[in-house]
Structure 1
């Protein structure tokens, strides 16, 4: 028995060091850089947009104006659209509902054109999907999850006041959704509208900043937008950023331009995240923006000259009195990369190419290896290169975090239509999942499992949860985190955010269970109302996420 105890102790000590020291020092500690698994060789559509719902199902969709997809609509249904630029009568699906738990999918019926649209999840768990192209540019589409297999899109053509093509959405503290920008739209508006016909509170509201940041290749589409803890919005376009008081339609502050002057928004297409907000310390807000394409890359790629993408990342602590950018370099240059917050608070950067820019046929040299960025690591050891996927994911690919800690990846269609032959990078209809290193088998003894937790969390109110773990290391390596699921498209994970909740007390329940007293997020500015995945993280290993609703 003493030998077994010694073995477990040594294993615990080794794993503890593996989890807190970078994988470059101990490469065996991180499960050989994660693992890729093909989930579906074809779901019939190329996933240009994706959103995880609170029932662990994923809405994915493409666009409606490229002709037929590879998935028929059921029961002989067809879409009749006199305004469609490719196919007036279309009996194929352009959207699916993917069930994570059963690894199955079914077609959905979308009517108006969703090309390069935007979205956010409402406080009640419905996906509010806005804009697009052609007959969809002013449309709002709503998908409300249900237990039956009958739920589908409900559409409201012409609901929006302006054309929203390449716009960005953000959920607000009062539950409304702000919709910012779009191609040649230098303004913003709100969903839902104020139904008072004499009210102007729904917009549109002029935002000169979007006009000022437009250049010859635009490079200000899909602006990066993050809700800050003070209630204002961080808005980044091209190389500039502001703090926007949307309630009074005024710019509170303009931040310094990012020093490496490569544009970061579409079509230069870098990516951004708001780093976790930690309620256990003084509240800070810090933005990270990585990758993109040099100025002029879009024009050059159109001439067959594929310029190398940017490898730079900038960090800006916007809560500082005088914020300044701190620059770092990724190990791989990347444009069209997706940046996602992992349950550990680390950031994964996945998909994209090393040369060229976003747009049809404008990217070359796919980057198939994700990179994990540890914001709190030492400066020399923040980046780790992961295992390569066998599938290149170029233009119109996407990625989202799942409640089990995996990253779901789909899409890639750099062509005007679906094209599977005689091209370097055929249209990809598959779904695959990347399992980060924390899911490797050697970490399972340290992975917590949530036994019970309140499904409803109130702002600033205490609650308790219980979890168990085979090998418990220390109270000092525990945290509780909530993650808002993102609507992801075009290298932008809209609405994603993480809050590290205040941990008040840990009680140990023999033989291997533990009770945590935790405080809900303090304000709606820190965590807007709606559904979140709650994770317990023990020594760098997250539990599976439990869905909770903040109200």
Structure 2
């Protein structure tokens, strides 16, 4: 069934490729890139397996693994060592378990993380500081902060007992008032807010109700909705939650099918773009996962086929109902990222088994791009094959230039490079979606000027150049919040298509587009966003702006 679907999806592209080759002199490789994207290896070895990943507003990506497995493959500088008498692997460890990657130079440097970050969570404050919470062992009550700077002295600052509860496999969401809510974790059917110091946690019975024998409600999917409430999805159920009153406002219909969607079944989820050019709607998309019992079966050596279904739920409807679709291939442990075009890329993962040590087989090395606005049976496109499988403990994030950075993959308790089916992977790759192909340069906008700050409900302008300007109706300005990605979920990810005012020609091939800042912090919490101008479904390179 999966092979037939892939073939049907690719047929229109191959027809288009044949037609263009017959009538132009454009190289076939350029056309193939414009249809299926392109993979590039950036680093063969960064020294760690990138289990967690966060893009910062100075165009560095902070990545980290865990501290309880022994040595990594990169040393700490200056003779520094991490000393922990309670560590289960090494009491003295002179290797790094976190690195900072510079996108512009393609270089990286080691960072010192002291407490165990395994299966932790994070969010970025409005000033750009990454707040990273929880983990394992001595890290399960810890908060760590990383503030971007231009020099070589930036490093983690840690607060060992800053959380009320043990947060291992929890999920974070930045809130309109600037606080961070931390929901769930192994054995934690509650939530708390990040503050200094933590003083209270609140019960959330929904998490207890959705736990099953495989604990398929870890890393619950959280999305901040335009009305200020939270959408929380765990296992197969979801609720609208008013965290201000600690109250479940409503429960949504259960997603159809027999698949669980949260860890270790590990599907993924996005909040589709919020468009301010009309009535405000909010629609959630959930894709992939594994059937009930797949985790137990995998532990016994039997790897059940993953789910191939996606569900869309427009939570702002009066009577919302799931709209189900079928992906070109089954996928568990896939990462879903919003692209500047408003499309969704689903990347990484496997087609059988679940998350967990040695629990999956049959890596899925072809990403798919989903177009939410296309006709229902023409929404998925299959991308170029990657050379490296990205299994358990891999991650991905969108970069400012529109590429997708991919790293990690270590389905073993320790680093293993030989004698196993899926060796530990310490490399970094970038996938360039089709919109980055040189073929699209004539209609690609290039931002040449704009302010660094955007104010709520205030007009602002972006000046851009474009060789072939076609029509105003194809033009938009949109902002994307960079995500904290781990375990197949990109926390805090959101896109807002800003309200369009006008576009005027100010010089030859140069235009000025005027838009209005977000309506409220519920639409877009304060902080740093990537801003893109999109023309004819082709995005500019992004610019960092601060929503204030």
Match 2:480 to one of 472, 479, 483: 483
Match status 1:174 vs 2:174: no
Match status 1:322 vs 2:325: no
State the partner residue of 2:150.
147
Match status 1:494 vs 2:525: no
Task: Please state how far the C-alpha of 1:22 moved relative to its aligned partner.
Answer: 7.4
State the partner residue of 1:46.
49
**Is contact 2:480–2:496 with CA below 8 Å preserved after alignment?**
yes
State the partner residue of 1:509.
506
**Is contact 1:24–1:381 with CA below 8 Å preserved after alignment?**
no
Task: Please state how far the C-alpha of 1:510 moved relative to its aligned partner.
Answer: 2.2
Structure 1: distance between partners of 2:185 and 2:200: 14
Match status 1:26 vs 2:16: yes
**Is contact 2:191–2:202 with CA below 8 Å preserved after alignment?**
yes
Match 1:421 to one of 418, 422, 439: 418
State the partner residue of 2:25.
none
Aligned to 2:122, the other structure's residue is in SS state: strand
Corresponding pairs, count: 525
Aligned to 1:377, the other structure's residue is in SS state: coil
Match 1:309 to one of 278, 294, 306: 306
CA-to-aligned-CA distance 1:131-152 (integer Å, 9 cap, x gap): 0001000000000000111010
Structure 2 residue ranges without an equivalent (≥5): 1-10, 18-30
Task: Please state how far the C-alpha of 1:532 moved relative to its aligned partner.
Answer: 0.2
State the partner residue of 1:190.
193
State the partner residue of 2:515.
518
Match status 1:342 vs 2:345: no
State the partner residue of 1:441.
438
Match 1:331 to one of 328, 349, 366: 328
| Distance 1:23-1:484 versus aligned 2 partners, 3 A rule | farther
Greater CA deviation, 177-186 or 22-31?
Answer: 22-31
CA-to-aligned-CA distance 1:195-228 (integer Å, 9 cap, x gap): 8xxxxxx530000000000000010000000000
Match status 1:364 vs 2:367: no
Aligned to 1:387, the other structure's residue is in SS state: strand
**Is contact 1:138–1:160 with CA below 8 Å preserved after alignment?**
yes
State the partner residue of 2:164.
161
Structure 2: distance between partners of 1:29 and 1:420: 33
Structure 2: distance between partners of 1:108 and 1:380: 46
Greater CA deviation, 280-289 or 184-193?
Answer: 184-193
CA-to-aligned-CA distance 1:433-477 (integer Å, 9 cap, x gap): 000000011011111111111111111111111000111111110
Structure 1: distance between partners of 2:299 and 2:158: 36
**Is contact 1:371–1:384 with CA below 8 Å preserved after alignment?**
yes
Give me the TM-score of the superposition, normalised by structure 1. Answer: 0.94
Match status 1:261 vs 2:264: no
**Is contact 2:116–2:140 with CA below 8 Å preserved after alignment?**
yes
State the partner residue of 1:294.
291
Structure 2: distance between partners of 1:296 and 1:138: 31
Match 1:399 to one of 380, 390, 396: 396
Aligned to 1:298, the other structure's residue is in SS state: helix
Structure 2: distance between partners of 1:29 and 1:98: 29
Aligned to 2:207, the other structure's residue is in SS state: helix
| Distance 1:164-1:326 versus aligned 2 partners, 3 A rule | same
Give me the TM-score of the superposition, normalised by structure 2. Answer: 0.95
User: Which aligned runs of 4 or more in structure 1 are off by greater than 6 angstroms?
Assistant: none
Match status 1:104 vs 2:94: no
CA-to-aligned-CA distance 1:410-434 (integer Å, 9 cap, x gap): 0000000000000011000000000
**Is contact 1:22–1:381 with CA below 8 Å preserved after alignment?**
no
What do you get for the CA RMSD once the two structures are aligned?
1.2
State the partner residue of 1:451.
448
Task: Please state how far the C-alpha of 1:24 moved relative to its aligned partner.
Answer: 6.9
Match status 1:247 vs 2:244: yes
Structure 2: distance between partners of 1:445 and 1:292: 40
CA-to-aligned-CA distance 1:102-153 (integer Å, 9 cap, x gap): 0000000000000000000110001100000010000000000001110100
Structure 2: distance between partners of 1:240 and 1:525: 23
Structure 1: distance between partners of 2:453 and 2:312: 34
CA-to-aligned-CA distance 1:494-526 (integer Å, 9 cap, x gap): 000000000101111220000011100001000
Match 2:466 to one of 455, 469, 476: 469
**Is contact 2:529–2:546 with CA below 8 Å preserved after alignment?**
yes
Match status 1:409 vs 2:413: no
**Is contact 2:162–2:197 with CA below 8 Å preserved after alignment?**
no
Structure 2: distance between partners of 1:226 and 1:32: 31
Aligned to 2:145, the other structure's residue is in SS state: strand
Match 2:383 to one of 383, 386, 393: 386
CA-to-aligned-CA distance 1:17-46 (integer Å, 9 cap, x gap): xxxx97476355862400000000000000
Structure 1 residue ranges without an equivalent (≥5): 1-20, 196-201
State the partner residue of 2:78.
75
